Amino acid sequence: MGGKPVWFIACGVVFVALSSANVRSALAETIAEKVEVCAGCHGQGGKPIDAMTPIIWGQQSGYIYIQLRDFKRGDRKSEVMQPIASSFEKQDMLAIAEYFSSKPWPDLGQPRSAKENAERALRAEHSVGCTGCHLDQFQGSGTVPRLAGQSREYLTKTIADFRTRTRGNNPGMSDLMLATPPDDLAALEDYLAGL
Ligand code: HEC
Ligand code: HEC
């Protein structure tokens, strides 16, 4: 009696064919997606939104990688960067570092140091030998960061953080900064921002 219940089963089968070119573009997309969030603070065109946020466009790739790794490990403390870096695996960090490193360094238009200040900065530079590591014109290389034209407020903050070891991921840099007189560091911060 009565009709039989009829069950409709809808099956959706999706075939995804992945040629190696597709795999490559899928990976590129993942990195493009992962870096979207960065622009919110580090800037769409590489100019950070806030002066306390460093330029990462055109920064040395090895250096960017080490910082992401250290944020994730908690060796470099940052309430903002730690949760972001924690979501990345090593391969992501290497790809993200490469991505930003290949972008052009933005010009923040910070004023050049006045002559007297520049002379003081260069005397301090010669006595410590900053460019022995940061290289000519403070361009950096590999795991040593570029400092030329970096945000002045950020340079001041991070050098202060090295001195208090709040930034504890490179004890050697902390030792160096503690051994350099504060007035010389202030001159260097002004000089580097204006390069
Ligand atoms: C909510 C804001 C914000 C977002 C989003 C953000 N950052 Fe940052 N980032 C900062 C701030 C602020 C610092 C400086 C931390 C400190 O004071 O030590 C920083 C520092 C860094 C540094 C260290 C640079 C240096 O010169 O030492 C790297 C590398 C970095 N961020 C990469 C990224 C990447 C890659 C992303 C996206 C996946 C990202 N950030 C997203 C705010 C942000
Ligand atoms: C022995 C090599 C060496 C010397 C000398 C040196 N540095 Fe560094 N510096 C480094 C390395 C390596 C880092 C990256 C540390 C890290 O991985 O966090 C660094 C990082 C920095 C940073 C942080 C940049 C950023 O984007 O957060 C500043 C600022 C800096 N150095 C300034 C100086 C100044 C100013 C001098 C000279 C008074 C100097 N350094 C001398 C090797 C050196």
Assess whether pLDDT exceeds 70 at residue 22: no
Its pTM stands at 0.90
Assess whether pLDDT exceeds 90 at residue 31: no
Asked whether residue 62 is domain-assigned, the answer is yes
Give residue-wise pLDDT tens across range 101-152: 999 999 999 999 999 999 999 999 999 999 999 999 999 999 999 999 999 9
Give residue-wise pLDDT tens across range 61-80: 999 999 999 999 999 999 99
Give dist(CA 122, CA 135) in Å, integer: 14
Domain count, the chain: 2
Report the CATH number that the domain containing residue 127 is assigned in CATH.
1.10.760.10
Q: Which atom of ligand 2 is nearest to the CA of 150?
A: 26
Residue span of the structural domain in which 89 resides: 24-101
Structural domain ending residue among the three candidates 76, 101, 126: 101
Structural domain ending residue among the three candidates 101, 127, 148: 101
Give residue-wise pLDDT tens across range 39-63: 999 999 999 999 999 999 999 999 9
Question: 35 CB less than 6 Å from ligand 1?
Answer: yes
Give dist(CA 152, CA 186) in Å, integer: 10
Q: Give 160's Cβ-side CA count (13 Å radius).
A: 8
Assess whether pLDDT exceeds 50 at residue 17: no
Residues 82 and 122 both lie in one domain = no
The Å distance, Cα 134 to ligand 2 centre, comes to 7
DSSP-assigned states of every residue in 90-113: HHHHHHHHHHHHTSPPP---PPPP
Residues 89 and 123 both lie in one domain = no
Q: What is the pLDDT of residue 20?
A: 61
